[in-house]
């Protein structure tokens, strides 16, 4: 019985020691998004930033389908009153001028490499 407190102390020290890397990481272990080039010509994206982060891939797919299948070219934003042309090159890349410092920088950090640029032109970019 008289070893009990020593055992408990030992156990506590052991637990703290084993979990130290975890405690020490709080606040720094979160996913770090790379620094992306800011848009100069507008304050807002076609939708909210949160929405765009999560949904831009499906939005582009929908835009393509609607343009190609339905000849529907106008996108009405739900966050502002603007109407945008459903176009990767003429719309997205008009504001996000530098593909390398915006799209690619983020994609590289998560190892995705959209094949869109096989056909679509990166208007101002340096071709790789």
Point out which residues bind ligand HEC (CB under 6 A): 33, 36, 38-39, 42-46, 49, 52-53, 56-57, 59-60, 63-64, 67-68, 84, 86-92, 94-96, 102-103, 106-107, 110, 112, 114-116, 118-120
- The CB-of-121 to ligand HEC minimum distance in angstroms stands at 10
Comparison of 12 and 108: residue with beta carbon closer to ligand HEC: 108
Residues 35, 38: Cα–Cα separation, whole Å? 9
- The CB-of-112 to ligand HEC minimum distance in angstroms stands at 4
Residues 95, 102: Cα–Cα separation, whole Å? 10
Comparison of 22 and 115: residue with beta carbon closer to ligand HEC: 115
* Lookup result for tokens 């720094």: 28
CB 31 within 8 A of CB 109: no
Which pair of tokens denotes residue 94? Answer: 């008009």
> Nearest 5 degrees, angle CA 83-CA 86-CA 119?
155
- The CB-of-80 to ligand HEC minimum distance in angstroms stands at 9
């Amino acid at each position: 019985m008289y070893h009990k407190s020593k055992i408990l102390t030992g156990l506590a020290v052991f637990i703290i020691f084993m979990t130290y890397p975890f405690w020490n990481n709080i606040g720094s272990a979160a996913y770090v998004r790379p620094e992306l080039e800011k848009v100069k010509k507008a304050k807002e994206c076609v939708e909210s930033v949160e929405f765009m982060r999560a949904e831009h891939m499906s939005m582009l797919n929908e835009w393509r389908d609607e343009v190609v299948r339905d000849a529907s070219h106008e996108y009405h934003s739900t966050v502002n009153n603007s109407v945008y042309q459903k176009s990767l090159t003429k719309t997205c890349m008009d504001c996000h001028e530098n593909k390398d410092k915006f799209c690619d920088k983020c994609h590289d950090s998560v190892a995705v490499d959209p094949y869109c640029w096989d056909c679509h032109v990166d208007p101002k970019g340096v071709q790789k």
